[in-house]
Amino acid sequence: MAPENSNTEEVVVGEEIGRVRLITLNRPRQLNVISSQVVSLVAGFLEKWEKDDDAHLIIIKAVGRAFSAGGDLKMFYAGKKDDSCLEVVYRMYWLCYHIHTYKKTAVALVNGIAMGGGAAMAVPLKFTVVTEKTIFAVPEATIGLHTDCSFSYILPRLPGHLGEYLALTGARLNGKEMIAIGLATHFVPSEKLDELEKRLVSLNSDDEVAVKAVIEEFSLEVEPDEESIVHKLSIINKCFGEESVEEIIKSFEAEASREGNAWIASVLKGLKRSSPTGLKITLRSIREGRKQILSECLKKEFRLTMNQLRSVISSDVYEGIRALNIDKDNSPKWNPASLSEVSSEKVDHVFQPFEAELELNIPPEGDAYRWCGKFEDSVYPTLKGKQ
């Protein structure tokens, strides 16, 4: 079901059909990466429709072969000499909180790539529909960043230590695997997605039982393939439950030498090529996330992202983006270059709380405050040019 208005200049298209509201991510050539404009528009639609008594059901979808490939890395790279990305980072984490806690019935139709912040617009919703074309990953640590956009809250709640595995390796999951571990609710063949959308629109209701029944008319019972990582949880738990990144790699190397574990070699190679700083920050963030509530995770992630974008202990995030997206030589030169050089003191430094007024402002409980804490209401606009 194509948007009524497919103006290619509109990066996000909002539609109102009866009591149904649709958000369509509309940057197919850029794999629907998340820019500041995308964040602002999605947040604006969600706020408007949550307050609208005539809006009952929300559907989020995308045009092209990607739902969303995550944050716009070139945007971050362009802002490396200043704090120009602070606003979009703040707005994105604030948006993540409202996606997790959204009060209207919402359905994500995820047909294609869903990575990092892109996946964060789908996974927390009441209904997350995936297809045989869906590819999920959180690859941030591999380029020197950390697992963000609420995934330090989501991943620790997956079975065993699968969260650490996904965060540290950037491993990809398909739709069947997402269903198996609880990152998605329904698997629908991609050729039926348009018809499902039409039925949801014609349902014109927010009744969760009715919405679920419609989705289940189109969904299939699926199981992960025999070689799926989901079936290797015993090895993952053994290795990725270790205390440190160094111990995880050592344990994983030992398992790689055992018969039947040939799959480990390529994963291990990628792990060893990743940013040492990114890996250590990510592991600690995921481990802390096991004991943190959503708001604590998001505040922590905001601090970590800003500290990494400000190169407080390392400029690896920019080197990772350069190697992957700018020069595309896939040969990042990490600094520090080894795990042993990333001290606990350095990692501690980026986890330190900001001054209270500089923290991400998560709204307190209560409808009166529900949409408070926006960037424009924070102290940050008055600090532009002073930091």
Query: What's the CA gap between 146 and 278, in Å, rounded?
Result: 6
Establish whether 182 is a catalytic residue: no
SS3 state at 60: strand
117 annotated active-site: yes
The whole-angstrom separation of Cα 284 and Cα 245 is 9
According to DSSP, the β-strands at 57-62 and 105-110 are parallel
Nearest Cα to 166, choosing from 35, 289, 328, 262? 289
Nearest C-alpha neighbor of 306 from the set 359, 254, 258: 359
- Inter-residue contact 41 to 77 (CB < 8 Å): no
Q: Among residues 116, 117, 175, 289, which one is catalytic?
A: 117
Rounded-to-integer distance, Cα 317 and Cα 189, Å = 37
Helix (H) or strand (E) holding 240: helix 233-240
Catalytic residue (choose from 14, 70, 71, 144): 71
Residue 171 CB contacts under 8 Å (≥ 6 apart), including other chains: 137, 165, 229, 267
- With tokens 């650490």, the residue in question is 164
Q: Has 140 been annotated as catalytic?
A: yes
Number of helices (H), then strands (E), in the chain: 16, 10
Separation of alpha carbons 333 and 313, rounded Å: 15
278 is annotated as an active-site residue: no
**Token pair 């039409």 in the structure block, residue:** 198
Residue labelled with tokens 């604590």: 296
Which residue out of 50, 72, 87, 140 is catalytically annotated?
140
Burial pattern 85-97, b for ≥16 Cβ within 10 A else e, equals: bbbbbbbbbbbbb
Under 8 Å between Cβ of 346 and 62: no
> Which is the catalytic residue, given 50, 72, 148, 177?
148
Which of 46, 60, 61, 63 minimizes the C-alpha distance to 8? 63
Question: Which residues are known catalytic residues?
Answer: 71, 117, 140, 148
